[in-house]
Amino acid sequence: MNHTRRNFLKFAGLTAAGLCVASAGSVMAAATAATEKASEKALQAKRWAMVIDTKRVGTKETIDVLAKACHAAHNVPDIPGRQNVKWIWAAGFDEAFDQPNNFMDESLEKREFALLCNHCASPSCVRVCPTQATYQRPDGIVAMDYHRCIGCRYCMAACPYGSRSFNFMEPRLHLDLAKLNKEFPTRMRGVVEKCNFCVERLAKGKIPACVEVSQGALVFGDLSDPASEVRKVLREHYTIRRKPALGTEPSVYYII
């Protein structure tokens, strides 16, 4: 046989193809017969939601209790000033609901509202994230994969509720390292973070940390189930949501 360029290329191509198949095969063979599944203990829902009784948690102090529990559970740093990181915080009526009223009754005028990510049914933050670092789970929770966040802050611009915080600096510098929750990670400089509706606790059968310390003032449950506790509370009380006109369909309701 003549040693032509054509023959050489054919042979080289075959060898390369063979190598590919062989290495792919060995990778496949190494993959085990293992599987993943959800825990039987996990709390499940079609759409998680929260109802906050603002008559019962309506002051800075009471909301601080919720924030402390949440921030301790998730290693959220306390940074003084505008670079603060927050998952749940207190704000007045105007800031919370965008419906300024110059002749409001006194109790409402002074009331503080616990604000957090609304885990919107049509979350604008999810639509803009270029890396799908923030995404909506089938149970309605808008979650984040911090591994993927590139810190572009599109989500912060898109969220109409200010629910997201950016780590302008290394968060560990502002955490009490002796009191970290070692079951949960911290974040690093350059990523966005926000409330996660305590997915890691739901997966273990526990209700969110803020709900747990709220002594019943916060109710958590499945919005799609008419028999659920949240639906019962919603039937019995007058509630509003934040900025409903924007169409993001928040899953956090406020009893006024």
Window of 6-14, 103-111, 161-169, 232-240 that interacts with ligand SF4 by CB under 6 A: 161-169
Residue 194, binding choice from ligand SF4, other proteins, none, Cβ under 5 to 8 Å by partner class: ligand SF4
Write out the E strands in 87-163: 88-91, 113-116, 134-136, 142-144
DSSP letter at 221 equals: E
Which residues are bridge partners to 113 per DSSP?
A: 91
Q: Strand, helix or coil at 170?
A: coil
Does the protein bind other proteins through residue 147 (CB under 8 A)?
A: yes
User: Which residue type occupies 99?
Assistant: Q
The answer to whether 14 contacts other proteins (rule: CB under 8 A) is no
Report the residue from 73, 96, 159, 234 that binds ligand SF4 according to the rule CB under 6 A.
159
Q: Which does 199 bind (CB under 5 to 8 A by kind): other proteins, ligand SF4, none?
A: other proteins
Of 13, 18, 25, 185, which lies in the binding site for other proteins, with binding defined by CB under 8 A?
185
Query: Exactly one of 75, 163, 186, 196 binds ligand SF4 (CB under 6 A); which one?
Result: 163
Is 57:68 a contact under the CB 8 Å cutoff?
Answer: no
Answer whether 38's CB lies under 8 Å from 205's CB.
Answer: no
Cα angle value 158/192/140 (rounded, 5°): 65
- Is 56 one of the binding residues for other proteins (CB under 8 A)? no
Residue numbers at the binding site for other proteins (CB under 8 A): 30, 32-39, 42, 75, 135, 137-139, 143, 145-147, 172, 177-178, 180, 182-188, 199, 203
